[in-house]
Structure 1
Amino acid sequence: MRKTGWGKLLFALMLVLLLALAACNSESGGEESDDSGSDTGAEEEEGTEGEEDTEGEDDIYSIEDFSPGTSDEGEPIDGGTLNFGLVTDTPFEGTLNYNFYSGNFDVEIIDWFDESLLYTDENHTFTQDGPAEFEVSDDNKTFTFTIRDNVNWHDGEPLKAEDWAYAHEVIGHPDYDGVRYDSTFMNIEGMEDYHNGEADTISGIEVIDEKTLEITYIEANPSLLAGGIWSYALPKHIFEDIPVADMSASPEVRENPIGIGAYKVDSIVPGESVTMTANEDYWQGEPKLDGLTVQVVGPQTVVQALESGDVDMVHSFPADQYPDVAEELTNVEFLGITDLAYTYIGFKLGDWDEDAGEVVPNPEAKMADVELRRAMWYAVNNDEVGKQFYNGLRWNATTLIPPSHPAYHDESIEAPTYDPDMANQILDEAGYEDTDGDGMRETPEGEELVINFASMSGGDTAEPIANYYIQSWSQVGIDVQLLDGRLIEFNSFYDRLEADDPDIDIYQGAWGVASDVDPSGLWGREALFNYARYASEENDELLAEGASEASLDMEHRQEVYSEWQELMVEEVPVFPTLYRSVLVPVNNRVQGYSEAYEWEARHEVSVTQEEPETVE
């Protein structure tokens, strides 16, 4: 029988009772709480609950249990087709070009028929294995790209250097209406003059010959090799007669898109599906499939669609639903990788100066005391949250660079883990005491301390997790109240954060991180997304050094970002709570597919039988 979200709500009530018991057991002295509040105690409680499988407790999994690629059992047939599902309850937007899209579902479609000219490795760094190769000048500012001779557009026209240059010209154009124009482009010599209408060409971009492009950047930066180069072309022979302002809505983007990928678009049902056929002229070789269909599948029916074989696979299956279907979905294999994301608790430490375009720290902010913030980190058991709410498929986070960046995530850093005794000790020593006997601590100045907590609505787990954190802080005498007494809708939540709503003291957020490890776009002084409004000179220096020419040396950059991760643990402007997994169910008949970040072999995907396997 499939489980429901009620199990999670019941667990939230159980947590409240367990915390209340822990409080009763520890009132006579901190040391006695070890049996009920330490990590060991939490594991013992989990084990006790785990014995009651008949009551509906879920199994615990690990991302290590999953492979990024299919196991490839059996022999593939010649040809065949694949059905790829987009899990959404709304139509996809249909802006089917890398240079113009903004929706995640659109790019999942585009990935099947177009691709980057530069491939990356497991550390998200550009390699020489893609449709183009490159050389770098001695000063690390000028890149010379050479496109392979056998790379062609789907209409048979060869991909030329001018197509790559043209993509830059369109994105940099004053009439461009997309979201791609950013610091990546501003770092190209002459781009801002062109963007501002002060020049007709981009001085830093030169087409050397039909297959060779040269781009000169203003600053040498290690981020250039990790996504800081725009690596997607735009067929000039198709778009050159279309006004830039009209391109994103044109039939060439929405009805008849072309690319250089393994498959080419055959037909589109707007918002619902895209059918593709094999690109026999693909530069890496003819695809093994005859074609595929990418189609929308509703969240409520995705499991049934997988069971019946209506879709062979879907991307990003909800991790908290996996235990409910792991045994019954016998016709699929679940792939898994660590997501480029984490959730976190943030502390409001300042404001955003719109005119200056930077963070202004407020030393009088309610959460300005680092010891209060540190104690709040020790007070929560993120490991148990990951187990109980996500069955281990989200897990305790330690630093603000997730393990999805293996070269830079420093697992040796000792971040606070659940230890309510340590939280109490820190608070006691910092002068936070219960002076009026109500069980809640006052400030060192003897004033009432009530902390307003903003958290988003969404899914069965959102409210019980927020309540768990509130109860955990209560158990160490910190009075945290849910802002407005309820969870906040997604858009309103971020609108209030960005506007520095003075009623928000702390918040629970989540970030997807870029392929480039540079965290300055989230936590720099000039980052609008730095919603904690944290800034310090040491933070400025480390972030600047991590993006400096010296950090072109990977070992140096690793050292810098290790120091930065340590600084964030020490200063606690925010603390990460959970890292995430990405789970992808794939029908047993599918071979050659992978979720690995460096995988670029869609032409190798095949099937072992004409029809998908189904659940009997």
Structure 2
Amino acid sequence: MGKSNKSKVLILSLALLLAACSGDDETTKDSGSKKDADGKQEQKDDGLYSIEDFSNVKTNEGEAIDGGKITFGLVSDTVFEGTLNWNFYSGAPDAEILNWFDEGLLTWDENYVYTNDGAATYEVSEDGRTFTFKIGDNVNWHDGEPVTAEDWLFAHEVIGNPEYDGPRYNSDFTNIEGMEEYNSGAADTISGIEVVDEKTLKITYIESTPSLLTGSIWSYPLAKHIFGDMAVADISSSPEVRENPIGFGPFKVDSIVPGESVTLTKNEDYWRGEPNLDGVTIKVISSSTVVQELETGGVDLISEFPVDQFPDNADMSNVEFLGAVDRAYTYIGFKLGTWDADNNRVKPNSDAKMGDVDLRKAMWHAVDNTAVGERFYNGLRWNATTLIPPSHPEFHDDTNEGRAYDPEVAKTLLDDAGYTDTDGDGFREDPEGDPLEINFISMTGGDTAEPLAQYYVQSWEAVGLKVNLEMLEFNTFYDRVGNGGEDNPDVDVYQAAWGVGIDVDPSGLYGAEALYNFPRWENEENERLLKEGRSEEAFDLTFRQDVYDEWQQLMVDEVPVFPTLYRAVLSPVNDRVLNYSIGDGTEMYLSDIAVSQDSPVTAE
């Protein structure tokens, strides 16, 4: 059957998208720093480093031995939650553990476009709305059962079930034909998903959108033979998620010490081939002991080294530091409403303490994030301007300067909005003349966490705002901001970070139906732009870029949150580790990792 003209337009648009993604015009930072003769990163004269001086691929030293085991350090100053299933997890520590034993059925390339190199392949219909997926015949769960199309359908049914208690149900799912009817109880099945045979699944989407090619397809199956008889509301807390999780990745879980460590053995039946390593131990290490653990060989590698500790440890003799621009940013968020669990959407509060946009703008103008990046992170984090980070260079608007540090502008905004000091105590009252105290929460973790939070408090106090700081450990922090759907009314402002997906679409963080929309902000213009960014028109790269440029400016204008820092991710790797990389598109997998000797190399 010949392709329709519409299909040709979609394919041509994708080709243009790929051409733009692979161009050489990415924005880079002028670093002036360099590597010394030993390959170590040197500081510039002003004491700063640049991520541009790091490789993201490990240099192999020596020949691989047969087997061997490594220890992966999960850097955290709190225990991991232990929701070890992609369909239910919410915290980054759990995701770091999941990466070792489970994975999605689809992979992507350096341009964040799905490939046919994963555990499943796909074909797209002429109208761009129906995807037919074929799971490999050699793709099996760790208990030997095949990963089936029914498992993939089951994951969609669980996430779309009204009793589902995880964070995944959003516009990516409501774009599937029949999903909203299924979610509301009007239908017993999802009409847009068809199991063709044991290994073939067909999904029809309401709208064809470029996001379907770059991240919005849910590719994580759920083992129906294990979870199929459970009540949906019970799955996330079940022993099969918390104590004996299953996947189809390169390693399988052997044992768990809750919150502390996970021991894994290799999956000899892994679909890419038997892993080189015999096993992996994942253990939680605190930011205060990470250097000692690396130097003594207590851990072979960690995914993210505290960059504030890098200058003192750049010359660590037994590791190689890999680096990449992180798909992430830190930010300050303002609580503007609550979560309506009955309707699965945000519920704005017109009387929210932080509801005045001029108050929010002033708080952004009051902080100097360039100084923060240099003072706390030696240039390995830097001033963030918009909510699409430079990890997505084709959509990050590098002409948008955000809101510049200018405390005088902040004071003027507050004055004009009626926030004045009426009682002479040095702090401003609200426009009604009532005391204004802003409750600010931030996370513990490392030597920098509290001084950084205190810096923001002091910056806001310098423009006359009284801010009360509370430092909380990771899990408690996210409970307070509403990770489980319950928003703590005592929280006004919070500091957090987002790791963004491979798809540039920010709907999952800022759409009105997104649980992760922690500010609980709803805006008609925001919804329009998010919809246009996912539309069929957005196959035109220029159109989509224009939409997201406009969205980035809207967020600068409305400030439900403001970005503070873009981030470098540094990953030290023991010299004995071979075939390791970080970042996207390197074509190295966890099953490829090997070691050149039985024991870790220790520091000299």
Same fold (TM over 0.5): yes
Q: Which amino acid aligns with 2:525?
A: E
Mapping of residues 366-377 of structure 1, within 5 Å: 368=356, 370=358, 374=361, 377=364
Compute the displacement of 1:540 (Å).
Answer: 3.4
Compute the displacement of 1:415 (Å).
Answer: 2.9
Residue 591 (structure 1) aligned to one of 578, 597, 601? 578
Q: 1:383 to 1:290 in 2, by over 3 A?
A: same
Residue 393 (structure 2) aligned to one of 390, 406, 421? 406
Residue 331 (structure 2) pairs with residue 344 (structure 1)? yes
Residue 378 (structure 2) pairs with residue 391 (structure 1)? yes
CA distance in structure 2 between the aligned counterparts of 1:436 and 1:458, rounded to whole angstroms: 35
Compute the displacement of 1:358 (Å).
Answer: 4.7
Report if aligned partners of 1:263, 1:291 keep a CA contact under 8 Å in 2: yes
Compute the displacement of 1:230 (Å).
Answer: 1.7
CA distance in structure 1 between the aligned counterparts of 2:460 and 2:226, rounded to whole angstroms: 60
Partner of 1:312: 300
Report if aligned partners of 1:96, 1:106 keep a CA contact under 8 Å in 2: yes
CA distance in structure 2 between the aligned counterparts of 1:227 and 1:565, rounded to whole angstroms: 20
Report if aligned partners of 2:208, 2:535 keep a CA contact under 8 Å in 1: yes
Q: 1:555 to 1:591 in 2, by over 3 A?
A: farther
SS in 1 for 2:367: coil
Mapping of residues 186-585 of structure 1, within 5 Å: 186-195=174-183, 199-240=187-228, 247-248=235-236, 252-253=240-241, 256-269=244-257, 271-327=259-315, 329-346=316-333, 351=337, 354=340, 357-358=345-346, 360=348, 368=356, 370=358, 374=361, 377-419=364-406, 452=438, 454-456=440-442, 458-459=444-445, 460-472=447-459, 478-483=463-468, 486-487=469-470, 489=472, 491=476, 495=480, 504=492, 508-525=495-512, 530=517, 536-585=523-572
Partner of 1:136: 124
Larger Rg computed on CA atoms: 1
Residue 50 (structure 2) aligned to one of 50, 62, 72? 62
Report if aligned partners of 2:357, 2:559 keep a CA contact under 8 Å in 1: no
Q: CA offsets, 1:53-86, max 9 Å, x none?
A: xxxx994323323322212233323332222122
CA distance in structure 2 between the aligned counterparts of 1:463 and 1:535, rounded to whole angstroms: 31
Q: TM-score, normalised by structure 2?
A: 0.77
CA distance in structure 1 between the aligned counterparts of 2:181 and 2:366, rounded to whole angstroms: 52
Q: Which amino acid aligns with 1:612?
A: P
Q: CA offsets, 1:328-387, max 9 Å, x none?
A: x32112223333332334566x555959855658599777364x6556544432111111
Q: TM-score, normalised by structure 1?
A: 0.76
Report if aligned partners of 2:533, 2:548 keep a CA contact under 8 Å in 1: yes
Aligned residues: 551
Residue 168 (structure 1) aligned to one of 135, 138, 156? 156
Partner of 2:599: 611
Mapping of residues 18-33 of structure 1, within 5 Å: none
CA distance in structure 1 between the aligned counterparts of 2:286 and 2:414, rounded to whole angstroms: 51
Report if aligned partners of 1:463, 1:487 keep a CA contact under 8 Å in 2: no
CA distance in structure 2 between the aligned counterparts of 1:365 and 1:91, rounded to whole angstroms: 33
Compute the displacement of 1:596 (Å).
Answer: 0.8
Partner of 1:11: none
Q: 1:466 to 1:480 in 2, by over 3 A?
A: farther
Q: Which amino acid aligns with 1:456?
A: S
Higher helix residue share? 1
CA distance in structure 1 between the aligned counterparts of 2:121 and 2:175, rounded to whole angstroms: 21
Partner of 1:150: 138
Q: Which amino acid aligns with 1:120?
A: W
Compute the displacement of 1:590 (Å).
Answer: 0.8
SS in 1 for 2:309: helix
**Percent identity over the alignment?**
57
Q: 1:111 to 1:420 in 2, by over 3 A?
A: closer
Residue 68 (structure 2) pairs with residue 83 (structure 1)? no
Q: Aligned Cα RMSD in Å?
A: 4.1
Compute the displacement of 1:118 (Å).
Answer: 0.5
Q: 1:558 to 1:325 in 2, by over 3 A?
A: same
Partner of 2:8: none
Residue 98 (structure 2) pairs with residue 110 (structure 1)? yes
Q: Which amino acid aligns with 2:289?
A: T
Report if aligned partners of 1:454, 1:493 keep a CA contact under 8 Å in 2: no
Q: Which moved more, 1:529-538 or 1:445-454?
A: 445-454
